[in-house]
Structure 1
Amino acid sequence: MTTAPQHTDGDPVDVLLIGGGIMSATLGALLTRLQPDWTIAVHERLEAVALESSAAWNNAGTGHSALCELNYTPQKADGSIDISKAVSINEELQVSKQFWSTLVENGLIESPREFINPVPHVSFVHGAADVAFLRQRYELLSDHPLFAGMEYTEDPETIARWAPLMAAERDFAASPVAMTRADAGTDVDFGSLTRHLFDYVERGGAQLHFRHEVRDLTRGRDGLWEASVKDLASGRRSTVRARFVFIGSGGGALTLLQKSGISEGRGLGGFPVSGQWLRCTNPEVIAQHQAKVYGKEAVGAPPMSVPHLDTRVIDGQQDLLFGPYAGFSPKFLKNGKLTDLLSSVKLHNLLPLLSVGLHNTGLVKYLVGQVLQSRKARLRALQQFVPTARLEDWELVTAGQRVQVIKPRGEGQTGARGTLQFGTELVTAADGSVAALLGASPGASTAVPVMLKLLAQCFPDKKAQWAPVLTELVPSYGTTLADNPELLATVHETTAAELELTWVGGQPERVTA
């Protein structure tokens, strides 16, 4: 591997990555392989990478593939179900898994069991209407090649076998219950994966700077970007000049995007949503559950608040969480400032922000209710999944902070009525010299396809040169697996082998690392 030349203070870098999360790590890894002669600098305000949204306990760790997430298959007014988003999200995870698999195969990152584990994905509903919905969803998805192998049941004995902790002392006669199960699901420790990717990027010559906060981003007279950086340890200030800048600093990306002054960032705002988990502390309870079980979100709740009983594998340890319980904080980062939301309000995004508040009263009411929720109310929500749950077996922990994107309605309608976007939003300058990633779920699971999109938009002149390498990294690059059953079968076999995702008798062979 060719190592990029080292740069010194004052010399411009080819690529500046702001933020030490999974998105910057993914882009850095791609560029290290595609353009090993480019200089890359990473600036992270905390003391290490992957301490914000990418940290294992700050996200659900679900390899989002729509195998169990019901919000990706919305039901229309006429009763029909739209599976298009589920198909696209599943396809995107396959792209990410191919990239990770190739890096492992080539020895560029090691120990896949440290960041990915096989955990069944299960959907769970109760009540006649939701059971009918899940049955219809299953009938649509099970015929699709990306969802092959999905199972459906309303049988209490089967449910007890799939999820014994959820079946214990449940009154199945009181309300109909249904589940779907997909054994091909995964749990991903995105914090560990981020560290692995940055290790590879650093070996390729990139320079990582910690406790370095980018305070401002402006365009210099020579056309290069100038990032004003403060060393939080020494107080020293410096300027980093870069030919290309990626703002991958989670919720903090909006502020720097606004400071860049690019027209594509005008009118954009952010709505912060915080979260909490109940984390199980009883090893006997943890041992009774081995699945990621997703239910349906409450009316008015954001998609990131879909309740789930979730097996996690973090640092080789199997854990169990339930949640998330949504909340509100004006911070844009877990380690952010209370003034983040207020300082993001500008003249060009004031009306979209106000209109979102006026037209999303259900969401506001839901968040207020979550903030004021008592311990007993949290327990009642948990007991919908685990009837035998006791509060003494669970502790409340704070999850990560997310900032949902607020956009003016319609292209270029700055100051018009705003819309609240639940998802990830890639914003790029017209000349491709700066890009920012905003938003949340499915987030980390789609890091690779999002960064491939960024490469196409920001470096169109490199498309022909990079295409052969990208096809090596992602065999389905330029095509879709759903339309290529032979390639789909090959990809499934290869990624399962390289990422050590194997099942025996319908159960994961390995749960802990």
Structure 2
Amino acid sequence: MFTKSTLDSENTYDAILVGAGIMSSTLAVLLHELEPDLRLLVVERLSSAGLESSCAKNNAGTGHAANCELNYTPIHDDGSICTTKAFEINKSFEQSLEFWASLVEKGKLIPETFLNKLPHISLVFGDKDISLLKKRFSELSSHAAFAQMEFTKDHDELKDWIPLIMDGRQKSEKIAATRIKRGTDIDFGNLTRSYINQIEGARSIEINYSTNVDNLQQDTEGDWYLSLEAGAKKNRIVRSKFVFLGAGGGALTLLQKSGIPEGLLYAGFPVSGKWLICEEEKLTKTHNAKVYGNAAVGAPPMSVPHLDTRWIDGKRSLLFGPFAGFSSNFLKYGSKLDLFRSIKTTNLFSMLQAGLGNIDLGKYLLNQLIQKNEDRIETLKRFLPVASPDDWKLSIAGQRVQIIKQTPKGGVLKMGTEVVTSSDGSLAALLGASPGASTAVTIMIEVLNRCWHKKMKSSKWKNKMLELFPSIGIDINSNQDALLAIRKRNDFLLKLI
């Protein structure tokens, strides 16, 4: 056990954030805005920020606002549409836009470097799905948050919305879509680097790249000690009252090493992804939308098929997928032993229970693993009937670790994100995947409320939060005037008009 006498003030920080992706960088900027003198250490195992899950080619780049993602409006057994999650995600993404708009207003972000306005479209085929889409449209568009949603099954109108997708289709084909023009494509890698660039020059901020967290432990007084490895350099011990584990799939391993009881409830199931990418200008200029379809039976939400216009490092392209795969890595640049090292006596039973409860998912993944490129092209042709294999190449996407949690009902596979905090609020970890990056701001505010609650109640931090979030404390889903006012501000500052 380390003691306070072990370390000097140079190795003592107010907060240590593990990982330099979208989550940790968002929290770092928030803390720095709220109290610039806080000493922060960001530790990243790779050579730069935003190279893992936040990297543009490793994620969908969708500003998830439930505009087009059908899995955010599941169908109840009685046939009714559940909209709770859609409104929740829409509100969270608006909060992300609000934060970015405030940083733009302060001259700390340039929206053109990471954000593009792009219509979000839901696309379905056949009478049954068309009926469900129409029901979804009727339910959502009656509320202010989705009032701009349009619905059509007219082929001529669809040719205007999605000309590339309608090319080669029979007039008799039953097809329908909804559209919201106020959608976005986001380069989360560039956003992450923009966050880091704005804070790394501050005297109170230290960022260590190519550095791995070997271990962490808490002493009897509540201080956390982290052992850091940086290549050939001598191991370094650092100390902090607060630690955030925002290391993507690697957060689970570190959470287990921390030894906090809350971490014993969790296990992880890794899923990898692949994209078909097209950079042919004649096609990239014709398609201008994110078009989401329905997920296959048993498929995880991250595998909902979609054809997206993307801007990656400023270059326009089309991505279709994702196609699922399996690797025992918890990170794209991780170890094949990650999954096996995460299996403990405390989570093995819940993993087995989750496996037995998700047979359809196992079948889906097996089918994906045995697919050939010809099979992927055939799936693409469901969206693009005239797609040519020569225009598309396969690219490996990011690695996701889905949460397996021990609950009173046994081990449950959870598809979203979850914040895990120690009982004393000294450690927080983010586990899970979608919608992730799009709602990072709301998630990090949750971390602050759980772990920095005394500071968050202070008048100083309250005033700072109000500067960053003019709508904070207002339910914009039930207050239409507030929603329209904050959207008008966000659109103006972020140039989304």
Into which bin does the TM-score normalised by the smaller protein fall? Answer: over 0.9
**1:487 aligned to 2:482?**
yes
What is the distance in 1 between the residues matched to 2:341 and 2:113? 39
What is the distance in 2 between the residues matched to 1:11 and 1:295? 50
CA contact (8 A) 1:225 1:245 kept: yes
- Which residue number corresponds to residue 360 of structure 1? 358
Deviation at 1:455, TM superposition (A): 0.5
Give a deviation string over 1:162-203, Cα, whole Å, max 9, x none: 000000001241x31000000000001101110111112223
Deviation at 1:262, TM superposition (A): 0.7
The one-letter code matched in structure 1 to 2:26 is T
**1:433 aligned to 2:426?**
yes
**1:467 aligned to 2:465?**
no
- Which residue number corresponds to residue 387 of structure 1? 385
The one-letter code matched in structure 2 to 1:444 is A
**1:122 aligned to 2:124?**
no
Match runs of 1:77-476 below 5 Å:
77-109=77-109, 111-173=110-172, 175-204=173-202, 205-232=204-231, 234-410=232-408, 417-465=410-458, 466-476=461-471
Deviation at 1:235, TM superposition (A): 4.3
The one-letter code matched in structure 2 to 1:278 is L
The number of residue pairs the alignment matches comes to 488
What is the distance in 2 between the residues matched to 1:123 and 1:108? 34
Give a deviation string over 1:378-433, Cα, whole Å, max 9, x none: 011100100000111000000000000000123xxxxx720000110000111110
- Which residue number corresponds to residue 74 of structure 2? 74
SS of residue in 2 equivalent to 1:74: coil
Aligned partner of 2:491 among 496, 501, 507: 496
SS of residue in 1 equivalent to 2:273: strand
**Ranges in structure 2 where 5+ consecutive residues have no aligned partner:** 1-6
SS of residue in 2 equivalent to 1:203: coil
What is the distance in 2 between the residues matched to 1:64 and 1:43? 27
Deviation at 1:37, TM superposition (A): 1.6
SS of residue in 2 equivalent to 1:389: coil
**Ranges in structure 1 where 5+ consecutive residues have no aligned partner:** 1-6, 411-415, 503-513
**1:33 aligned to 2:33?**
yes
Deviation at 1:298, TM superposition (A): 0.1
Deviation at 1:464, TM superposition (A): 2.2
CA contact (8 A) 1:281 1:395 kept: no
What is the distance in 2 between the residues matched to 1:366 and 1:278? 19
Deviation at 1:222, TM superposition (A): 3.9
CA contact (8 A) 2:11 2:237 kept: no
What is the distance in 1 between the residues matched to 2:292 and 2:278? 17
SS of residue in 2 equivalent to 1:269: strand
SS of residue in 1 equivalent to 2:387: coil
SS of residue in 2 equivalent to 1:122: strand
Ranges of 4+ aligned residues in structure 1 off by more than 2 Å: 7-11, 220-223
Deviation at 1:10, TM superposition (A): 5.2
SS of residue in 2 equivalent to 1:216: strand
**Between 135-144 and 201-210, the greater mean CA deviation after superposition:** 201-210
The one-letter code matched in structure 2 to 1:51 is L
What is the distance in 2 between the residues matched to 1:320 and 1:313? 9
The one-letter code matched in structure 1 to 2:419 is L
The one-letter code matched in structure 2 to 1:126 is F
What is the distance in 1 between the residues matched to 2:396 and 2:370? 15
Deviation at 1:454, TM superposition (A): 0.6
- Which residue number corresponds to residue 3 of structure 2? none
SS of residue in 1 equivalent to 2:249: helix
CA contact (8 A) 1:18 1:246 kept: yes
**1:478 aligned to 2:473?**
yes
SS of residue in 2 equivalent to 1:384: helix
CA contact (8 A) 1:25 1:201 kept: no
SS of residue in 2 equivalent to 1:483: coil
What is the distance in 2 between the residues matched to 1:346 and 1:189? 36
TM-score normalised per structure 2: 0.96
The one-letter code matched in structure 2 to 1:137 is R
SS of residue in 2 equivalent to 1:250: coil
SS of residue in 2 equivalent to 1:246: strand
SS of residue in 1 equivalent to 2:192: helix
- Which residue number corresponds to residue 4 of structure 2? none
SS of residue in 2 equivalent to 1:357: helix
The one-letter code matched in structure 2 to 1:62 is T
The one-letter code matched in structure 2 to 1:391 is P
CA contact (8 A) 1:292 1:309 kept: yes
- Which residue number corresponds to residue 506 of structure 1? none
CA contact (8 A) 2:222 2:426 kept: no
The one-letter code matched in structure 2 to 1:75 is I
What is the distance in 2 between the residues matched to 1:481 and 1:267? 34
**Cα pair distance change 1:8/1:100, threshold 3 Å:** farther
What is the distance in 2 between the residues matched to 1:118 and 1:463? 33
SS of residue in 2 equivalent to 1:57: helix
Give me the CA root mean square deviation: 1.2
